[in-house]
Structure 1
Amino acid sequence: MLDDITRALAEVGQPFDDTRTHYCQVQATALDEGRCTLAGAVLDDATLAALLDGLAARFPAIRFETAGVYVLRAAQPRTAAVGTNLTGLYAKPSFLAEQVSQLLNGWPLEILMTEGRWAFVRQADGYLGWAYAPYLAPAHGCAFSHLVSAAVSLLRAEPSPAAPIVTRIMGGAAVAVDAVDAGWSHVTLAGDSAGWVPAGDLRAFSVLPQDTAARRGQMLADAARFTGVPYLWGGCSALGIDCSGFSQLLHRLVGVTLPRDADMQFDAGRPVEAPFEPGDLLFFGEAGETRSITHVAVSLGGWRIVHASRSRNGVYEDDVQAVEHLRESFVGARRFI
């Protein structure tokens, strides 16, 4: 019977198999006199409830004990912010593990559990992974007012291009401006770095484009700033970026939130057909019985695209119809603006 329950756990847990946004690691450890002891961890109460409902439907005579199941999202969550200018998000608690994404300064995080010097964190969009805990800081108390719209902005000790560099702020990071001086803006970052950046490197949330045409035009201008940025799996900054990190960043800079990965973006967007508008996302996949999404590009209008290309090792423009592997692997297009 315990083996039957183990198999049932695998079945009812299938909706939570995507470890990018779900956590469900529960085992049946003992069965005695109609009571089954469960142990492990789940992301939230809803996950645990779904497991128990599925088990109860299959084994109505068995009582399932869940005292040994840890719910990661507690009623009073532990919060933090990214305290460095940039850090990796990893599949496992090790710098040698796969980098699944990156985190920019000030991004809010929910700490779900810790292991040594590592924290298992949840981003605001639900994306999960391991971050190096010494690179995190207390949750940022200031209200963000601007996005860094430059690919990289140099934070200086004084409002002068000759002043010493304090650090670099990556494009897409949110900052709070607390003073201005002759074309310079003073910002304080999570982790307590403070200094001055050129005001032109920032874009106030209050002036983000609101209509579709303005957003499309701004995305084209922003995309040009990232030309030549090298390709990096899991990257989402001008120090290295992958295809979905690039499409996500361009949308963030016009105030639109996208899921992190290409397949997630494909599922979330509105389907569109050619002719494509600037800002539409074009998706590509590997051949097979079904096409799994493996790449995303941003349309510049029609089949002309800009993308973080692994084959070209960076952000460059291409014409889908002129590149055989792109033309033959095209799956479909989606729109978010």
Structure 2
Amino acid sequence: MSEDPRRLDLGPGEARRAMRLTDICRSPEGARDRQLQRGEAVSAHAARDGWMQVTAGRDGYTGWVLSDDLHKAPATTHRVAVRATHAYPEPNMKTRELASYGFGTELAVVDERHKFFETDAGFVPKAHLRPLDRPFSDPVTVAQLFFGTPYLWGGNSVFGLDCSGITQIACLACGLPCPGDSDMQEAELGQPTEDLRHGDLIFWKGHVAWVVDEQTILHANAHHMAVAYEPLGPAIARIEAQGDGKPTARKRL
């Protein structure tokens, strides 16, 4: 079997972090495969014409990122734990914000004020951050934060997600290792199950959905062009009718 180019073993590289939400592309100037959120760690291996070949620390995913979107930065300590937040130049919500960040963005907290953490990106409301060493317990609850988020092929953030993106971001927030693409997720996540319950995953060829309950799934899909709830039975029938076949696996994490 040929080596999967998404997970090349490139050996040790220079540690860097994403400065902003940025695309992981299959080649310089190539198509987006996945995304890095601000603060995520990578190992940089090669440089070419303003691009760097990197391996993502979260899952070993390999691709090319714009060099200007990476920098050497301190280790992160917290993640944004709400749908979105703002960073301010001082601990005052009435000042003009410096930037907006979505769920899963990683920040380094350097000081604490009454209602704000001072971070390497500015002052962020304390209620919006959660320590990296305090994971969530239910990935479906995390996934539900993204209801209505627009569909984006290769997306990994609140600004746009695809089916494997919402699976990965929910798993990682709960401390569960998770690869980046749905075929790898089907191969590596969980154990097969016949019945379905809250927290299971159901797979089709090239697609994956969270099971909310026995009758309902939540998934980022091109039919709705958004993260949407859908009745399980009609979803299975619709996906088969559009030519994408029957479910290929049901997995319990």
TM-score, normalised via structure 2 length: 0.90
Query: Taking every aligned residue pair, what percent have the same amino acid on both sides?
Result: 26
Displacement of 1:252 in angstroms is 1.6
2:18 is matched with 82
Q: Give matches, 1:125-140, under 5 Å.
A: 125-138=59-72, 140=73
Matched, 1:73 2:59: no
Matched, 1:200 2:133: no
1:282 is matched with 202
Matched, 1:118 2:51: yes
Is the contact made by 2:74 and 2:108 (CA closer than 8 Å) also made in structure 1?
no
* Secondary structure, aligned partner of 2:98: strand
Unmatched 5+ residue regions in structure 1? 1-13, 23-42, 44-71, 189-193, 210-214, 286-293
Q: Which runs of 4+ in 1 moved over 4 A?
A: none
2:207 is matched with 295
Letter in 1 for 2:24: L
| Bigger radius of gyration | 1
What CA distance in whole angstroms lies between the structure 2 residues aligned with 1:325 and 1:271? Answer: 26
Matched, 1:335 2:252: yes
Could you give the per-residue CA deviations for residues 87-108 of structure 1, whole angstroms, max 9, x where no partner exists? 11111101xx210000111211
Q: Quick one: which of 31, 46, 49 aligns to 1:98?
A: 31
TM-score, normalised via structure 1 length: 0.69
1:245 is matched with 165
Is the contact made by 1:83 and 1:136 (CA closer than 8 Å) also made in structure 2?
yes
Is the contact made by 1:118 and 1:130 (CA closer than 8 Å) also made in structure 2?
yes
1:316 is matched with 228
Structure with the higher helix share, 1 or 2: 1
Q: Quick one: which of 170, 176, 182 aligns to 2:108?
A: 176
What CA distance in whole angstroms lies between the structure 1 residues aligned with 2:141 and 2:115? Answer: 21
Is the contact made by 1:158 and 1:164 (CA closer than 8 Å) also made in structure 2?
no
Is the contact made by 2:55 and 2:63 (CA closer than 8 Å) also made in structure 1?
yes
Matched length: 247
Is the contact made by 1:242 and 1:308 (CA closer than 8 Å) also made in structure 2?
yes
Q: Quick one: which of 41, 51, 62 aligns to 1:108?
A: 41
1:234 is matched with 154
Name the Cα RMSD after superposition: 1.8
2:2 is matched with 15
Unmatched 5+ residue regions in structure 2? none
Letter in 2 for 1:130: W
What CA distance in whole angstroms lies between the structure 2 residues aligned with 1:281 and 1:89? Answer: 25
Is the contact made by 2:163 and 2:208 (CA closer than 8 Å) also made in structure 1?
yes
Displacement of 1:200 in angstroms is 1.9
Displacement of 1:153 in angstroms is 1.6
What CA distance in whole angstroms lies between the structure 2 residues aligned with 1:112 and 1:267? Answer: 27
1:187 is matched with 119
2:89 is matched with 157
**Higher RCO (CA 8 Å, separation ≥ 6 residues):** 2
Displacement of 1:242 in angstroms is 0.6
